[in-house]
Structure 1
Amino acid sequence: MAKCGGCGQFIAASASVRCSKCAGCYHRACVGVPPTATPSPTWLCPGCKATLPRTDNSATPVKGAAADYSDSHSLPTVAPSASLDLAQEIRAFREELSGLRADIRQLRQENAEFRAANEGYNGRMGAVEGRLDNIEQRFEATDAPSYDHLEKTIADLKVQLNERDQDLLLNDVIVSGIPESKAENPAHIIKAVSLKLGIDLDDRDIVNVERLGKVRRNLTTSSSQNDIAERPRPRAIAVRLSRRVVRDQLLHAARVRRGLTTADLNLHGQPKRVYVNEHLTRSNARLFHLAREAGQRSRYKYVWTREGRIYARKEDGVSAVRIRSDADIKEIFGDGKV
């Protein structure tokens, strides 16, 4: 059984046509030969016909495709298998076209829903913009003095809250300038400082002692537990005393002896000043720092704290003024740099 030279499938000899030149076998449907037609003995396949040289046939009348066959009246027909494949392709194309139409309808519906939702969002945004414009108009129409009065009220409330927080620290002192050590005992350090200042503190006089702030571990390394690690800026020690009179005595002794250093406490390293001051709130500490800088620029002779309150005096013989807020710094020192 030979193979068809066109489609490559096996073909019976009775159902095939054979080329007179190359002896190749073909399905009748593959080469367009009708089933009822009888090919001529000189029939050539399409491949062999393409290799024939061209001749001058201008004098010959045009022949139809059926002239090569003995049955000149037979008409070409389409093979049943080819017509079946074509029908299946048309059916598949129609199904794809129907699915495409359904997708287009769904897309149109979704587009309409999106437009409707977008219109709703636009309406809501318009309403919000209208309310915002109304609020802005009402705010612009509000009297400026009343707004300033509101700001002043808020500032006064902040000052009052800060003063209450400061009252809670009236029994506290801050000791700064003492280097840190891994094996240090803050209570022992405070007792040593008080003894150097001439005040003998008892264990009952100390309520709590702690370093302020987070531990910076990269700065607390030391070769041994007895060695004091050198720190560029050691954390301050906050001390809460049980009685206010003891705190006042300690602060008074620290003002009298201002030259206390770490060498007096037998601490290793370069001698550094040790300071004992009142414990201020964070707001008052910042305000005191700004007041000192502004006082130096304005040539004020004294800027100090007492009982958690900040005072300034231009020179001897002049009344002291109290500083409560940033506005007071601007008003008192008059340099506008706060």
Structure 2
Amino acid sequence: MVKCGACGKFLSTTDRACCHKCTAAYHKACVALPTLANVKDSWICPGCKIKIPKSDNTPCKPHTAGNDPACPPPAEDVTHGSAEEPKLDLAVEIRSLRNELKSVRNEVREYRREMQAALGSFDTKLCEFESRLSAIEKKQEQISLPNEKIEEAVSDLKFQLNEREQDLLANDLEITGVPEKKGENLLNLSSILAIKLGVTFDERNIVHLERLGPVRRNRVEGSDGDSEQRSRTIAIRFARRATRDQWVRAARVRRNGQIFARKAEGNGSIYIRTEKDVEKIF
């Protein structure tokens, strides 16, 4: 079925006016035509009338004073000069504007529905994200508790290991000032030191014996042309702490006294360690 070009409603065959130019159909009431009147084949719709250019085909100009019989006034155009045409055009434009407003309202409603659906989906996703985040935080808290226990266990193990190392160091003895020679036998050297200190020496009481650090050499060469080795510390680890304490007590008893000297009365005393210290004073 055909719709009216003005109001957009369907047309019946009896209540219809068709334009012979654009073939558009209208309700007779929408274009200000009597409902029972017959529409001529030369009828033009208001839209087509607006598009027809107006021209002045009068051969002579009208006079301002009086009427010229040679140039009679133009006859009134029944088709184009009707007084109802402006009203009809305005009504059509109003109906068209209403239709446009109606379509705009429909679009706005559709846009609102889409926005509400999008916001609802966003809220749902946000709630899911918050729930997942809270679950991850709970798992992290559960994981942190075993980590704290592990750290405590590691700390206890480190403390126990440090105590054991301290216990082992209690059995160690360091001897300095013993000249170092190439190819020396530290075990024989330790037995000689025991004899000098007056303690009994038993190889079974020694767990480990070595000189500490890499081999060092003096800058001054010896008489044979070879550079002399600098004496490194001898480290002895005894099997028992009592043996180590025995060596320490014997060394303290046999240690030489410290020598101090002063050049004149009233001067400060100076600790004498070598002959060069004596030369500095005197």
TM-score above 0.5: no
Provide TM-score, normalisation by structure 2. 0.32
**Based on CA coordinates, which of the two structures has the bigger radius of gyration?**
2
Provide TM-score, normalisation by structure 1. 0.27
